[in-house]
Amino acid sequence: MSLLVAYLFIPPGILGILFVFVFAFSIYAQYRVSSAYGKNSKILSRGGISGREAAAAVMANGGITGVDIEETEGHLTDHYDPGKRKLVLSSENYRGTSLAAVGVAAHEAGHALQHKEGYHLLETRMALVPVTRIAAGAAPFLYIASFFLFRGSSGLILELAIIAFSILTVFQLVTLPVEYDASRRAKAQLVSLGILDRDEMPGVNQVLDAAALTYLAAFMAALLNLLSLLSRRN
């Protein structure tokens, strides 16, 4: 849910100040991603390896078979789907040979390595996905409705909103180490496999580290929304 919408319902005080901070941090995180990706998407890797080839090399080195690498439309729509065992890359990263393309593709391959290894936090996130989708769809409506209906401490709408944001907060909390670990694996593989030289890694670091900020911002937003609801219950 938009922090801007949430902020309209927060009374002045410490929570209001925190909402302004988190809202500003979210904008900063998005700016960092856009800036880092835009800059490093223009820097071609010396080896000329595409994002698809980099992802395939990382998975092959990890002994992963049976995972399809597919191309999709959109900007930064890249993801790894453990349920369908497929790695999806946006066209700019699937075909691109830039530092940004190779870094993003290797990051998604890092999730495939986690899946094969049975990385427990990835499995936890996978288990949370179905209920999180339901919570994410209901949370905005429950949050807004809780200000107009059932204002008492035992109000059903307020309790449902708290449950929804608790789920979102836990999901975002689990996502943080999963994403950081995937980036760590990607960076190590790119160098060890000779896909990139060490002096090319700062560009990859800029892109992946900036992306990590967006996950941190998402966790902070979910947690702050949850805290604001809890403060109204008691």
Convert the pLDDT of each residue in 178-227 to its tens digit.
999 999 999 999 999 999 999 999 999 999 999 999 999 999 999 998 98
Rounded to a whole number of angstroms, the CA Rg of the chain reads 20
Confidence of residue 233 (pLDDT cuts 50, 70, 90): confident
Asked whether 58 and 186 are in contact (CB, 8 A), the reply is: yes
What range does the domain containing 209 cover? 3-233
Identity of the amino acid at 77: T
Measured distance CA(139)–CA(144) in Å, rounded: 9
Query: Each residue of 34-45: pLDDT tens digit?
Result: 999 999 999 999
Q: Active-site residue numbers?
A: 108
SS3 231: helix
Residue 177 CB burial class (10 angstroms; 0-12, 13-18, ≥19): middle
Residues 6+ apart with CB under 8 A from 86: 67, 68, 69, 70, 80
| Number of domains into which the chain is organized | 1
